[in-house]
Amino acid sequence: MNKQCGSVWVVAEQIDCRILPVSLQLIGQARKLAKELNTSVETVILGDQMDKRVQEFFAAGADRIYLGNAPELAIYQPEMYTEMIVKLAKEHQPEIMLIGSTSMGTELAPLVAARLGTGLTAHCIDLIIDDNKILEQRIPAYGGLISIICPEKRPQMATIASGVFPHPELDESRTGEIIHLEIPNEISPRVQTLEIVREEPEGIPLESAPIVVAGGAGAGDIEGWRIIAGLSEILNAALGSTRPAVDEGWTELETMIGQSGKMVSPELYIGVGLSGELQHMVGIVGAKVMVAINNDANAPVFEQVDYGIVDDCREFVPMLIEKIKEYQERKITC
Amino acid sequence: MLKIIVCVKAVPDPKEAHKIKIDPATKTLTRADVPLVLNLLDKNAMELALLLKEQLDAHITVLSMGPPVAGNIVKECLALGANQGFLLSDRAFGGADAYATAYTLAKGIEKIGEFDLIICGMASSDGSTEWVGPEMAAFLKVPVVTRVNEIVEFGGEWWKVKASLENGYRLMQVKLPAVFTVSRELNTPRTLSFSGIIKARKKEITLWDLNELGVLEETVGQKGSPTIVSSLATVNSKRIAEIISGTREDKVEQLVQKLADAAVI
Ligand SMILES: Cc1cc2nc3c(=O)[nH]c(=O)nc-3n(C[C@H](O)[C@H](O)[C@H](O)COP(=O)(O)OP(=O)(O)OC[C@H]3O[C@@H](n4cnc5c(N)ncnc54)[C@H](O)[C@@H]3O)c2cc1C
Ligand SMILES: Cc1cc2nc3c(=O)[nH]c(=O)nc-3n(C[C@H](O)[C@H](O)[C@H](O)COP(=O)(O)OP(=O)(O)OC[C@H]3O[C@@H](n4cnc5c(N)ncnc54)[C@H](O)[C@@H]3O)c2cc1C
């Protein structure tokens, strides 16, 4: 007898009652996976006053919602959240569990996975169901892609960044079932979130910027980095980075583009002094025009962009900035 | 006394790690002799331990799971000022995913004995999952705070720490014993001193294999790992660059023209 396949779950996340885009994107992808497995899509959401928001999950493709709605769930509380999700998963045995790779998701997912005794894949850039009905979780590594599977243990768990999957088409006529969760009261927490403080990010957000200038190790030092930052300023672009630039302390982790950073989809991407490692390049999705500036003609980045400049960025970029200024002035006077 | 355990991973030197590649023909990894070094963020973990030791009565244990050469990074931490070092090393531990790694380390910690604080890096530079700290905490049934970037209050039973999150931070109150994973912003790691290296010569590293750890073979390494790598593939790019050549002036001129023509500037 064929055992009925468990559901595809998305553990959603909210900030101040607003559902994060990544959660809806994952529901969109979950819909596709569920279709191939002939099963349903279910969402878990913990928060406060979320009852008015749950229609969004149905519209995005969820069939059933597990709703934990209480003031003490308003912000992420590690133990309470873990406890509730673990209990629920043990009860309903999902086949797959997807979580956004936000700060919360990155902490919550391994806590849940370890408690459920199952595997967990990080930084997935694609998810497909293979011929054996197993979830293939693709991640960039070693200049190519590797597929990770969790053949026996369930659920098959993965975290995915915002922007990896597109926003689903919303169908406002869709509805589904809402299951209200009981709030455990016997927990005496050993770790508690006292406060969450968020500042408005400075500058243009990378994720929605029409122009992205990204700098890499080739900047050489902080001076070189400032030159690249200058290019992004003149273009009114968002400034992105590669991991070495972050490791050197030239820029913040928030600016890193790629597998373990941000996903961008600009009209124009200019990569300066970076080699074109896949872990970075997978972060650029559907750019219209891509340019690379690198002093090594054999740099792999030249196989992944539209226009290449072989030159020392510290010499070339200042001249480029001047030329762009000229162009911008001409454009205004025309 | 505050008993601290710092977990450190030996990773392929990030400066040379790109040499390990997928062979397009065989779909296997090309062999490259990339040296193993102390994971960058584990230096921040060590630095936190050392700062705490300077201010409190503390004892620092360093723990790593890895091949025998990983003993070198444990030595390095002893030279930085750790009191004792342990290396979990056995062929059976090889091929571990994050789950099996966290399980094995948790077993090592149980055998080491009591602890107040376990400090990990936020992520390794190779696998970079960020799973090991929290999974270990789950196995040891203690709380965890990931991405710690500031210690606000310390010394007592309850500590307050800040942890980074998207465009801000969360302020956490946590009861020891606990696990922290630390981010780069937390501190600036010190470098090795000559006297430290000399002193470390006398310090011993304890090696534990499968038997000494007292775990079943099927719970560790590849056998104990829920996840496996099922295939490797190379990717074909959809673009190929038109290289703009000429003098620097020509190149600048042409590039701006092309961007203007494409209406992207
Ligand atoms: C699991 C994992 C996840 C990762 N996630 C990410 C991620 O999300 N984002 C990310 O960016 N990286 C990530 N990385 C790191 C990634 O593998 C690469 O190491 C990184 O992208 C390389 O950055 P880079 O191109 O700046 O540096 P390098 O590869 O060192 O390249 C520097 C380039 O600059 C060129 N150059 C040097 N000097 C000059 C000059 N004067 N003018 C012009 N060019 C010059 C060189 O020719 C070289 O091509 C990850 C790695 C792992 C293992
Ligand atoms: C490209 C690539 C992708 C991978 N993807 C996955 C995946 O999606 N899921 C999965 O389960 N495994 C994955 N792995 C395997 C994983 O990297 C290894 O299991 C590794 O032993 C532990 O995980 P990590 O390197 O990601 O550590 P992280 O969790 O990123 O490391 C955080 C910290 O944990 C501590 N730590 C980690 N390993 C050790 C150790 N051996 N000894 C002492 N302290 C340690 C250190 O303090 C370190 O700073 C991947 C490996 C590679 C190379």
Asked if the structure places residue B103 within a domain, the reply is yes
Ligand 1 centroid to Cα of residue A244, in Å, is 6
CATH classification of the domain holding B212: 3.40.50.620
Q: What residues of chain B lie within 8 A of the CB of A241, using their CB?
A: none
In the block, residue with structure tokens 């302020």: B171
What interface predicted TM-score (ipTM) does this complex get? Answer: 0.95
Domain with CATH 3.40.50.1220 in chain A: 206-333
Point out which residues pair with B58 in neighbouring strands: B2
- pLDDT tens digit sequence for B222-251: 999 999 999 988 888 789 899 999 999 999
CA B250 to chain A, closest CA, distance in angstroms equals 11
* Chain centroid to CA A300: 24
The answer for residues whose C-beta is within 8 angstroms of residue A178's C-beta and 6 or more apart is: A54, A64, A65, A67
As annotated, the residues of chain A forming the CATH 3.40.50.620 domain(s) are 8-180
CATH number of A8-180: 3.40.50.620
Condensed to tens digits (0 to 9), the pLDDT of residues B99-113 reads 999 999 999 999 999
Q: Where are the beta strands (DSSP E) in chain B?
A: 2-7, 10-12, 36-38, 58-65, 84-88, 117-121, 144-153, 158-165, 168-175, 178-182, 205-208, 228-233, 242-243
Place of tokens 């029409």: A210
**Considering only CA atoms, which of A319, A318, A290, A320 is closest in space to residue A306?**
A290
Tell me whether residue B61 is in a domain.
yes
Q: Output the CA–CA distances (angstroms, integers) from residue A166 to A25, A210, A269, B16, in the order listed.
A: 6, 17, 19, 35
Whether ligand 1 lies within 6 angstroms of the CB of A84 is answered as no
CA of B4 to the centre of ligand 2 (A): 21
Note down the domain range covering B173.
2-219
Q: Which CATH number fits domain A206-333: 1.10.260.40, 3.40.50.1220, 3.20.20.80, 3.40.190.10?
A: 3.40.50.1220
Are residues A107 and B232, on separate chains, in Cβ contact within 8 Å? no
**Shortest Cα–Cα distance, A313 to chain B (Å):** 11
Distance between Cα B194 and ligand 1 center (Å): 32
Give dist(CA A19, CA A26) in Å, integer: 12
Residue B237 lies in a domain: no
Residues from chain B that touch A190, judged by Cβ atoms under 8 A, are: 142-143, 174-175, 178
The per-residue pLDDT for A3 is: 59
* DSSP H helical ranges for A6-151: 21-37, 55-60, 78-92, 103-116
- Is residue B228 in some structural domain? no
Number of domains in chain B: 1
pLDDT tens for A240-297 read 999 999 989 999 989 999 998 999 999 999 999 999 999 999 999 889 999 999 999 9
Do the Cβ atoms of A269 and A287 come closer than 8 Å? Answer: yes
Q: What is the pLDDT of residues A14-32, one digit of tens each?
A: 999 999 999 999 999 999 9
Structure tokens, B129: 């999952």
**Nearest 5°: phi and psi at A293?**
-120, 115
- CA triplet A44, A22, A50: central angle to 5 degrees? 40
Write the pLDDT tens digit of every residue in B37-52: 999 999 999 999 999 9
Instruction: Identify all chain A residues contacting B99, using CB atoms and an 8 Å cutoff.
Output: 113-114, 118-120
Domain membership of residue B202 (yes or no) is yes
B40–A290 CB contact, under 8 Å = no
